């Protein structure tokens, strides 16, 4: 997964996923400019396996995280990253199971599909509970992520997960104990996103507060 080589960087002239825009406007009569991107909204799911009492997260190589961590050099007119200096593991993240809303389906249906594709659990829709939704990237994208909680059992495991091979996805399923999850929230050596930390805090506040509580009791 982190065997990353031959990294070169080019301009992004057109994309199915991001549309860079320069916005011109007046605020209180003053001319302003802002650079932003139109991107898809998303779903993310904090998954708890109640049979084994552990979190189910995912790990994958994220090119955006990798280039944020590594220095871009120019060699023979080509922008590149020296993977000996900056090995691929710098781009590995720990994340919630997630996906983009790029089809005409409800966010909870997309969440159900992502749980199956990425983590291998076939979860009934009624086990997928909305926590909230929030804006990400306020300076750059402003997109909404719909956050869900899904309680799964070993009996719902129908496949290995790992993402869609047809889309070239390479995803590791990471099981983490309750206490490992608690430590991870403040472990800066772990490449993780705000939403993962918020979701785990929510879990401790809503599900695992005084004693373990099942989602049906919410």
Ligand X SMILES: Nc1ncnc2c1ncn2[C@@H]1O[C@H](COP(=O)(O)OP(=O)(O)O[C@H]2O[C@H](CO)[C@@H](O)[C@H](O)[C@H]2O)[C@@H](O)[C@H]1O
Applying CB under 6 A, the residues found at the interface with ligand X are 17-18, 42, 44, 98-100, 145, 167-169
DSSP string, 51-77: TTTEEEEEEEE-HHHHHHHSPPEEETT
Write down the least CB distance from residue 147 to ligand X, Å.
10
Q: Report how far residue 39's alpha carbon sits from residue 16's, in angstroms, rounded to the nearest whole number.
A: 9
Cβ-based nearer residue to ligand X, 48 or 61: 61
Among 141, 4, 140, which Cα is nearest to 67's? 4
Residue sitting closest to ligand X (CB): 42
Write down the least CB distance from residue 217 to ligand X, Å.
28
Cβ-based nearer residue to ligand X, 76 or 167: 167
Write down the least CB distance from residue 168 to ligand X, Å.
6
Write down the least CB distance from residue 203 to ligand X, Å.
18
Question: Measuring CA to CA, how many Å separate 176 from each of 39, 50, 88, 127?
Answer: 30, 12, 23, 20
Cβ-based nearer residue to ligand X, 167 or 205: 167
Residues 6+ apart with CB under 8 A from 198: 147
Q: Report how far residue 73's alpha carbon sits from residue 44's, in angstroms, rounded to the nearest whole number.
A: 34
Cβ-based nearer residue to ligand X, 134 or 201: 134
């Amino acid at each position: 997964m982190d065997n990353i080589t031959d990294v070169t960087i080019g301009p992004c002239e057109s994309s199915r996923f991001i549309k860079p825009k320069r916005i011109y406007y007046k605020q209180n009569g003053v001319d302003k400019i802002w650079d932003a991107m139109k991107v898809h909204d998303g779903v993310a799911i904090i998954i708890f396996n109640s049979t084994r009492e552990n979190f189910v997260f995912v790990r994958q190589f994220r090119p955006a995280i990798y280039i944020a961590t590594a220095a871009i050099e120019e060699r023979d007119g080509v922008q590149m990253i020296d993977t000996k200096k900056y090995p691929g593991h710098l781009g590995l993240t720990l994340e919630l199971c997630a996906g983009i809303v790029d089809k005409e389906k409800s966010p909870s249906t997309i969440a159900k599909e992502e749980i199956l594709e990425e983590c291998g659990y076939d979860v009934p829709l009624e086990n997928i509970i909305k926590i909230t939704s929030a804006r990400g990237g306020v300076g750059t994208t402003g997109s909404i992520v719909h956050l869900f909680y899904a309680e799964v059992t070993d009996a719902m495991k129908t496949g290995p997960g790992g993402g869609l091979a047809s889309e070239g996805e390479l995803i590791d399923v990471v099981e983490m104990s309750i206490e490992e999850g608690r430590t991870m929230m403040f472990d800066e050596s772990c490449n993780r996103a705000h939403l993962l930390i918020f979701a785990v805090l929510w879990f401790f506040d809503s599900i695992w507060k005084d004693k373990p509580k099942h989602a049906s009791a919410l």
